[in-house]
């Protein structure tokens, strides 16, 4: 059973956590605390070394030691994703910048700015299973170009059966 922890209790647990050169700040927040990963790294814009502060993660005073360590782990993982997003470029642009506003991302969705393959499955491209499995009928095209419908297993996406489009013989 978890007992209520003080700031000192949580800081003692965090002192036992090590990840690269990261440090863990603990800030007071209402009935609990906020954990924040900090480190020194060159600023993405200036190149000058600066203290970087990652997002904050809530820690309850009732959290177990495992929950506190797992929160620190999650904070480190998210911080690394942030760094990758800042430094990864395509054609000289930070296309995965974590600083894009949610509004700008939503506008891209509204404009339908997606880059995706044609989602029409090719029959024969997936393992075929015997009939009797639950599935859904979806339009598809066999590798030989004949159009029809495939019965696709909803659990794993395997093609279960192929039927030619109405009025079209697969042999023509």
**pLDDT of 23-76, one tens digit each?**
999 999 999 999 999 999 999 889 999 999 999 999 999 999 999 999 999 999
Residue 145 has pLDDT above 90, yes or no: no
Average pLDDT for 100-114: 85
**Same domain assignment for residues 79 and 156:** no
Average pLDDT for 107-120: 74
9 within 8 A of 62, measured Cβ to Cβ: no
Examine residue 144 and state whether it is found in any structural domain, yes or no.
Answer: yes
**Same domain assignment for residues 98 and 19:** yes
Gyration radius of the chain over CA positions: 26
Domain that residue 94 falls in = 7-110
146 CB-near residues (< 8 Å, 6+ apart): 164, 165, 168, 170
Examine residue 1 and state whether it is found in any structural domain, yes or no.
Answer: no
**Same domain assignment for residues 53 and 80:** yes
Neighbours of 21 (CB within 10 A): 9
Please write down the long-range contacts of 146-150, taking CB distance under 8 Å and 24 or more positions apart. 146/170, 148/123, 150/121, 150/123
**Same domain assignment for residues 102 and 82:** yes
Examine residue 141 and state whether it is found in any structural domain, yes or no.
Answer: yes
Residue 153 has pLDDT above 60, yes or no: no
Examine residue 12 and state whether it is found in any structural domain, yes or no.
Answer: yes
Question: pLDDT tier at 2 (50, 70, 90 boundaries)?
Answer: confident
Quote the pLDDT of residue 154. Answer: 54
**Same domain assignment for residues 18 and 103:** yes
Q: Which two tokens stand for residue 92?
A: 């000289």
Q: Which residue has the higher pLDDT, 119 or 107?
A: 107
Beta-bridge mates of residue 25: 36
Quote the pLDDT of residue 85. Answer: 93
Quote the pLDDT of residue 172. Answer: 45
Q: How confident is the model over 75-99, as pLDDT tens digits? A: 999 999 999 999 999 999 999 999 9
**Same domain assignment for residues 40 and 80:** yes
Q: How confident is the model over 115-142, as pLDDT tens digits? A: 766 555 555 554 544 444 555 565 666 6
Examine residue 104 and state whether it is found in any structural domain, yes or no.
Answer: yes
N-terminal to C-terminal alpha carbon distance within the chain: 71
Based on the structure, what is the number of domains in the chain?
Answer: 2
- How far is residue 83 from each of residues 2, 121, 137, 140, measured CA to CA in Å? 34, 36, 43, 41
**Same domain assignment for residues 131 and 46:** no
Residue 114 has pLDDT above 60, yes or no: yes
């Amino acid at each position: 059973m978890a007992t209520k922890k003080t700031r000192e209790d949580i800081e003692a647990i965090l002192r036992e956590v090590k990840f690269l050169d990261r440090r863990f700040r603990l800030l007071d927040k209402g009935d609990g605390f906020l954990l924040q990963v900090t480190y020194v790294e060159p600023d993405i814009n200036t190149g000058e070394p600066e203290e970087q502060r990652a997002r904050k993660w809530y820690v309850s005073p009732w959290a177990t030691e495992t929950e506190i360590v797992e929160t620190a782990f999650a904070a480190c993982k998210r911080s690394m994703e942030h760094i990758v997003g800042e430094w990864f470029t395509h054609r000289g642009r930070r296309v995965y910048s974590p600083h894009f506003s949610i509004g700008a991302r939503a506008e891209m969705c509204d404009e339908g700015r997606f880059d995706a393959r044609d989602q029409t499955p090719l029959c024969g491209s997936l393992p075929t299973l015997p009939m009797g499995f639950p599935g859904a009928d979806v339009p598809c095209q066999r590798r030989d170009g004949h159009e029809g419908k495939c019965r696709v297993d909803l659990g794993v996406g395997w093609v279960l059966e192929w039927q030619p489009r109405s009025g079209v013989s697969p042999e023509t």
